[in-house]
């Protein structure tokens, strides 16, 4: 039986899970932002990583077909997208029930009926629009959380409502979302994949008969091929999917890391510090890395590693939010936009407004002042992004500077504006010869390091 | 944590010595003994004692208040008196204690100063500290003994002459005036002969960490070991007896291959050997120590235990040249060394005592230690390729001790050391 290893990174903001095989290859990724408790978070992330692993194993198994046939590749990609959508949809249905409960217990009479009407309308519109985004916009690959996806759309929907309804609608949302987020929902992989394929087949069958907008699929050459072939692909895939669905993804060993690690019911050898895990993960992906910068939700770490991926020194900011991811979360709240919109808006800036506050909380007051004197939102945001990076640069300098290759990890590495300033400032301070690495899996580096330690625990 | 604290025999002796000292202080007004406030780094207690006066060390009182969980309130009171958040917390704790009746660690009142001996040794704050005390005790005479910094890595004859001149023209006349006694060089020489014996014991004691397991912890227990010479017993026969007993006790532990005694009991397994730079945190001293105990980490050398005198590099008092010896002793204190000398000293400790790692406890309050620590870390890492750890806390302000942050960083540090050991073993 093949051996797999699990790394769990229980961060302060999100919990991540990575499954690797015996060659340290990542085969499954899972992430959740639940704040329920670390046991639930671990399970959610682990289950998600397991589903993801089944798709990876499927793709590995069918590598030849995928490489030679674009329609085959497209079909599998679409199955995975619909699979993710169906998970989303179940949670949305669950949220809808929660909405109704909240409305019934909080409001009465005409107000209750009106609010119910609004909420039902919103829920019925969110479902199809999200399916569309999963299929055409690759929403699943963006690692967005259920809360982010729903709240972005919910907020847009209620923005137009008058004062009488805006507040109650927010209340309904806030009261209901956390419960759903903190709930562990287990899905039957086989059942969900079958359902996904059935939905897809309907879509493909309808291709050409209706406009592409209605089908939720953009019409292109791959789809053109699929239109005629989907039945054959489906028939040949069914067996393979049955096989991966039935596979026992046996976790031989696991290692937990991150702030919540002490709460995991793991033995001592299976608990590792996130400093070591981040460094080990980043070093595994980029073996020439000597300096790692990790900007997470509630801390920033500058880590120096040697050629084995061993940490030689580290420096942490665990005292001040103004250098961490939460700073951006707070700023997003201040601007009333989602976290994902921050980076793109800041990138549009024509200049960077100088932000003087060294404190997250006081920065908000400064932002208001700057808006009052007519500074543009994007320029202020650019300044804020630069400010957070400046703090990280100071930490890096204190840890001994940047040596050779530099790898940027953590959730914040996904923010394009932060990435831009990190790159600019690293080059400015340490020369243009420094190679800067950022991986699409940057947020998973800690969990990857954990999984790699788990594999080595077994060897040793 | 259990209530029973494991203690060494010498610790009991020390406790009695210190209790007697505070008892003597509390009755000073009745017995007519004069009281001199002075600082630990460069404490020329032999001279004070030779005039029949009693020394008081405000830093010792502050750290004692910290250990007895009183510093938080004292600091709050000092802040209400206008001392800002960034002022050294030893100062604020001391000021707070004074405005609350100046009750010392044994519960007895500490008498007001008859003389402030400002032996300025590498810490600018000392100047401001005694200016504050001067305001609290109007009319108290101040004797300033300025210690030149070892800027060029060495003590020149001019520097010694400059200090001797201050001793002769400023310090001794003021002491004569306050005590009513004439300067007696023979008495001072006799005290320095005792100091010389104590210095050799101290060197021997801190050198025992070269054994495996190390019989002592040179930081957490080390601060107790340097207690007598930094709290009134420098140059006394009691100090000679105490250190002889302590050294004997440690040699017994070496023979029995025993590790250090900690409040949690004898350390069974020595997993990591560390050199630590920076003062400890006093408000959570036992919790802090336990974090190391739990990980099997022994401190084999620390810079903090050299704060009241550095003897590793060959310096000894010469009883035949008493004033020159006092001058050179002051100039040799750890915080009066320049940064390169500190790197050299720490580097020698790391090598001589086979340390696995170097750890800095950076103190928010203390510029004379914290300034330059990053440079020290980077130089040591480069020179010795030793793993470096960095934690932050404060001397006596309980608000700046974050148990979880420190624990998290220490865990990472220890795992880093362990991982390195494993790789080295398999390589």
Task: Supply the mean pLDDT for chain A.
Answer: 88
Nearest C-alpha of chain B: how many angstroms from A175?
Answer: 31
A30-44, A209-223, A386-400, B84-98: range with lowest mean pLDDT:
A209-223
pLDDT confidence bin for A219, thresholds 50/70/90: low
pLDDT confidence bin for B426, thresholds 50/70/90: low
Answer whether A459 touches B (CB < 8 Å): no
Nearest C-alpha of chain B: how many angstroms from A305?
Answer: 10
Best residue in A314, A394, A398, A449 to probe B by mutation, most B CBs within 10 Å?
A314
Q: A88 with A80: CB under 8 angstroms?
A: no
Nearest C-alpha of chain A: how many angstroms from B383?
Answer: 13
Give every CB contact of residue A434 below 8 A, 6+ residues apart in sequence.
A402, A404, A405, A406, A426, A427
**pLDDT of res. A212:** 47
Answer whether A321 touches B (CB < 8 Å): no
Between B381, B408, B422, which is nearest A313 by CB? B381
Interface contact A276-B411, CB threshold 8 A: no
Q: How many CB atoms lie within 10 A of CB A437?
A: 17
Nearest C-alpha of chain B: how many angstroms from A271?
Answer: 10
Interface contact A259-B419, CB threshold 8 A: no
Answer whether A316 touches B (CB < 8 Å): yes
**pLDDT of res. A337:** 83
Domain boundary assignment for chain B: 9-183, 188-426
Task: Supply the mean pLDDT for chain B.
Answer: 93
**pLDDT of res. A1:** 78
A300-304, A309-313, A434-438: range with lowest mean pLDDT:
A309-313
Interface contact B419-A275, CB threshold 8 A: no
Between B378, B409, B423, which is nearest A308 by CB? B423
Interface contact B409-A398, CB threshold 8 A: no
**pLDDT of res. A375:** 94
Q: B39 with B133: CB under 8 angstroms?
A: no
Q: For residue range A391-407, list pLDDT tens digits in order.
A: 899 899 988 899 889 99
> Residue B409: its chain A contacts at CB < 8 A?
316, 318
Nearest C-alpha of chain A: how many angstroms from B373?
Answer: 10
Answer whether A432 touches B (CB < 8 Å): no
Q: Phi and psi (nearest 5°) for B297?
A: -100, 125
Residues 232-271 of chain A whose Cβ lies under 8 A from any Cβ of chain B: 259
Q: For residue range A138-180, list pLDDT tens digits in order.
A: 676 666 788 888 988 898 888 888 778 888 999 999 999 988 8
Cα A145 to Cα A14: distance, rounded to the nearest angstrom: 10
Between A273, A312, A319, which is nearest B411 by CB? A273
The ipTM, to two decimals, is 0.74
Between B408, B409, B412, which is nearest A276 by CB? B412
Cα A298 to Cα A284: distance, rounded to the nearest angstrom: 24
**pLDDT of res. A218:** 55
DSSP type of residue A210: B
Answer whether A312 touches B (CB < 8 Å): yes
Mean pLDDT of A92-97: 94
Mean pLDDT of B208-219: 97
Q: Phi and psi (nearest 5°) for A7?
A: -120, 130
Q: For residue range A35-93, list pLDDT tens digits in order.
A: 778 888 899 999 999 999 999 999 998 888 888 888 888 888 889 889 999 999 999 99
Cα B415 to Cα B324: distance, rounded to the nearest angstrom: 48
Closest CA to A297 of A19, A37, A35: A35
Interface contact B387-A460, CB threshold 8 A: no
Interface contact B416-A318, CB threshold 8 A: no
Burial readout B240-250 (b: 16 or more C-beta within 10 A, e: otherwise): bbbbebbbebb
Cα B297 to Cα B290: distance, rounded to the nearest angstrom: 10
Interface contact A276-B416, CB threshold 8 A: yes
Cα B183 to Cα A225: distance, rounded to the nearest angstrom: 107
> Residue B392: its chain A contacts at CB < 8 A?
319
Percent of chain B with pLDDT over 70: 98
Residue of A nearest to B373 (CA): A398
**pLDDT at B2 > cutoff 50:** no
Span B188-426: which CATH code? 3.40.50.11900
Interface contact B387-A313, CB threshold 8 A: yes
Closest CA to B145 of B125, B128, B111, B169: B169
Best residue in B405, B412, B415 to probe A by mutation, most A CBs within 10 Å?
B412
**pLDDT of res. A200:** 87
Interface contact B409-A400, CB threshold 8 A: no
> Residue A273: its chain B contacts at CB < 8 A?
408, 411-412, 415-416
pLDDT confidence bin for B37, thresholds 50/70/90: very high
Q: A135 with A196: CB under 8 angstroms?
A: no
**pLDDT at A226 > cutoff 80:** no
Preceding omega of B252 cis (within 30 degrees of 0): no
| B413 or A203, which is more confident | B413
Nearest C-alpha of chain A: how many angstroms from B423?
Answer: 9
- B322-331 vs B185-207: helix axis angle to the nearest 10? 40
Tell me whether residue B287 is exposed, middle or buried, using C-beta atoms within 10 angstroms of its C-beta: 0 to 12, 13 to 18, 19 or more: middle
Q: For residue range A196-217, list pLDDT tens digits in order.
A: 999 888 888 877 655 444 445 5
Between A275, A318, A400, which is nearest B378 by CB? A400
Best residue in B376, B413, B419, B426 to probe A by mutation, most A CBs within 10 Å?
B419
Q: How many CB pairs (< 8 A) connect A and B?
A: 51
Span B9-183: which CATH code? 3.40.50.11890
Give every CB contact of residue B134 below 8 A, 6+ residues apart in sequence.
B116, B140, B142
| Domains delineated in chain A | 1-58+250-282+446-460 (3.30.420.40), 62-245 (no CATH), 287-438 (3.30.420.40)
Percent of chain B with pLDDT over 90: 88
**pLDDT of res. A285:** 94
Q: For residue range B344-377, list pLDDT tens digits in order.
A: 999 999 999 999 999 999 998 898 899 899 999 9
Answer whether A402 touches B (CB < 8 Å): no
Residue of B nearest to A258 (CA): B408
Mean pLDDT of A222-226: 71
Distances (CA, A) of B52 to A87, B97, B108, B180: 85, 26, 21, 10
**pLDDT of res. B161:** 98
Answer whether A2 touches B (CB < 8 Å): no
Closest CA to A445 of A312, A286, A228: A286
Best residue in B383, B385, B408 to probe A by mutation, most A CBs within 10 Å?
B408
Nearest C-alpha of chain A: how many angstroms from B283?
Answer: 19
Q: A217 with A131: CB under 8 angstroms?
A: no
Distances (CA, A) of B225 to B222, B250, B299, B318: 5, 11, 14, 23
Interface contact B388-A313, CB threshold 8 A: yes
> Residue A310: its chain B contacts at CB < 8 A?
416, 419-420, 423
Nearest C-alpha of chain B: how many angstroms from A249?
Answer: 29
Interface contact B419-A310, CB threshold 8 A: yes
**pLDDT at B1 > cutoff 50:** no
Between B374, B409, B422, which is nearest A398 by CB? B374
Given the DSSP bridges, would you call strands B357-363 and B272-277 parallel, antiparallel or unpaired? parallel
Interface contact B416-A273, CB threshold 8 A: yes
Residues 123-162 of chain A whose Cβ lies under 8 A from any Cβ of chain B: none
**pLDDT at B109 > cutoff 60:** yes
**pLDDT at A14 > cutoff 80:** yes
Q: Do domains B9-183 and B188-426 have the same CATH topology?
A: yes
Give every CB contact of residue A196 below 8 A, 6+ residues apart in sequence.
A79, A82, A83, A85, A86
**pLDDT at B299 > cutoff 90:** yes
**pLDDT of res. A142:** 65
Interface contact A316-B409, CB threshold 8 A: yes
Residues 269-298 of chain A whose Cβ lies under 8 A from any Cβ of chain B: 272-276
**Residue A125 C-beta-side C-alpha neighbours within 13 Å:** 12
């Amino acid at each position: 039986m093949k051996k797999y290893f699990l790394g769990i990174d229980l961060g302060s903001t999100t919990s991540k899970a990575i499954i690797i095989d015996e060659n340290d290859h990542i085969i499954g990724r899972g992430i959740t932002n639940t704040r329920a408790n670390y046991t639930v978070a671990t399970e959610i992330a682990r289950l998600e990583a397991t589903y993801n692993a089944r798709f990876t194993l499927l793709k590995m198994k069918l590598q030849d077909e995928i490489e030679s046939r674009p329609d085959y590749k497209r079909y599998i990609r679409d199955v995975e997208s619909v699979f993710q959508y169906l998970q989303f949809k179940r949670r949305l249905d669950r949220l809808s029930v929660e909405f109704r409960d909240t409305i019934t217990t909080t409001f009465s009479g005409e107000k209750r009926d009106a609010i119910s009407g609004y909420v039902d309308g919103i829920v019925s519109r969110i479902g199809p629009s999200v399916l569309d985004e999963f299929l055409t916009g690759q929403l699943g690959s963006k690692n967005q959380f259920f809360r982010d996806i729903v709240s972005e759309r919910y907020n847009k929907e209620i923005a137009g409502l008058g004062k009488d309804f805006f507040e109650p609608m927010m209340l309904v949302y806030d009261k209901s979302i956390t419960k759903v987020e903190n709930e562990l929902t287990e899905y039957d992989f086989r059942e969900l994949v079958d359902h996904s394929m059935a939905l897809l087949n309907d879509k493909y069958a309808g291709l050409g008969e209706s406009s592409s907008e209605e089908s939720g699929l953009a019409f292109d050459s791959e789809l053109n091929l699929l239109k005629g072939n989907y039945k054959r692909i489906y028939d040949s895939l069914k067996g393979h999917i049955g096989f991966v669905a039935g596979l026992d993804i046996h976790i031989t060993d696991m290692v937990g890391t991150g702030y919540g690690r002490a709460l995991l019911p793991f033995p001592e050898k299976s608990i590792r510090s996130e400093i070591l895990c981040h460094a080990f993960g980043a070093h595994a992906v980029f073996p020439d890395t000597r300096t790692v910068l990790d900007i997470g939700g509630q801390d920033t770490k500058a880590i120096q590693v040697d050629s084995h991926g061993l940490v030689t020194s580290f420096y942490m900011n665990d005292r001040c939010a103004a250098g961490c991811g939460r700073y951006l979360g707070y700023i997003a709240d201040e601007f009333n936009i989602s976290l994902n919109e921050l980076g793109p808006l800041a990138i549009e800036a024509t200049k960077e407004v100088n932000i003087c506050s060294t404190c997250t909380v006081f920065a908000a007051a400064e932002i208001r002042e700057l808006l009052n004197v007519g500074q543009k939102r994007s320029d202020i945001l650019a300044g804020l992004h630069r400010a957070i990076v400046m703090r990280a640069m100071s930490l890096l300098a204190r840890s001994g500077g940047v040596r050779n290759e530099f790898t940027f990890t953590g959730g914040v590495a996904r923010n394009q504006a932060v990435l831009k300033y990190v790159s600019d400032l690293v080059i400015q301070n340490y020369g243009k010869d420094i190679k800067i690495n950022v991986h699409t899996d940057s947020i998973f580096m800690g969990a990857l390091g954990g999984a790699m330690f788990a594999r080595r625990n077994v060897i040793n | 944590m259990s209530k029973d604290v494991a203690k060494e025999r010498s610790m009991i002796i020390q406790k009695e010595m210190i209790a007697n000292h505070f008892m003597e202080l509390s009755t000073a007004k009745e017995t007519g003994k004069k009281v001199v406030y002075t600082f630990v780094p460069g404490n020329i207690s032999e001279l004070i004692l030779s005039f029949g006066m009693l020394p008081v060390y405000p830093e010792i009182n502050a750290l004692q208040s910290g250990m007895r969980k009183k510093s938080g309130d004292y600091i709050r009171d000092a802040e209400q008196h206008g001392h800002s958040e960034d002022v050294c917390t030893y100062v604020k704790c001391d000021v707070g204690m004074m405005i609350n009746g100046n009750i010392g660690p044994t519960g007895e009142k500490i008498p007001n100063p008859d003389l402030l001996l400002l032996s300025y040794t590498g810490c600018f704050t000392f100047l401001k500290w005694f200016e504050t005390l001067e305001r609290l005790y109007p009319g108290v005479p101040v004797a300033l003994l300025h210690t030149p910094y070892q800027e060029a890595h060495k003590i020149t004859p001019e520097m010694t002459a400059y200090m001797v001149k201050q001793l002769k023209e400023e310090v001794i006349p003021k002491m004569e005036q306050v005590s009513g006694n004439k300067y007696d060089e023979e008495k001072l020489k006799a005290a320095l002969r005792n100091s010389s014996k104590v210095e050799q014991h101290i060197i021997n004691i801190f050198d025992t960490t070269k054994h495996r397991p190390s019989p002592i912890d040179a930081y957490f227990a080390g601060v107790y070991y340097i207690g007598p010479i930094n709290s009134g017993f420098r140059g006394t026969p009691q100090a000679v007896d105490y250190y002889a007993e302590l050294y004997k006790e440690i040699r017994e532990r070496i023979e029995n291959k025993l590790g250090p005694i900690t409040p949690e009991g004898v350390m069974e397994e020595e997993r990591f050997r560390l050199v630590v730079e920076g003062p400890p945190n006093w408000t959570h001293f036992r919790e802090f120590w336990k974090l190391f105990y739990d990980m099997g980490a022994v401190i084999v050398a620390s810079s903090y235990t050299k704060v009241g005198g550095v003897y590793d590099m060959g310096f000894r008092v010469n009883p035949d040249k008493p004033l020159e010896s006092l001058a050179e002793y002051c100039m040799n204190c750890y915080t009066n060394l320049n940064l390169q000398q500190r790197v050299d000293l720490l580097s020698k400790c790391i090598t001589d005592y086979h340390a696995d790692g170097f750890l800095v406890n950076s103190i928010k309050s203390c510029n004379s230690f914290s300034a330059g620590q990053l440079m020290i870390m980077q130089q040591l890492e480069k020179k010795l390729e030793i793993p470096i750890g960095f934690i932050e806390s404060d001397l006596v302000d309980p608000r700046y001790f974050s148990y979880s942050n420190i624990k998290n960083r220490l865990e990472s540090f220890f795992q880093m050391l362990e991982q390195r050991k494993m790789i080295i073993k398999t390589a």
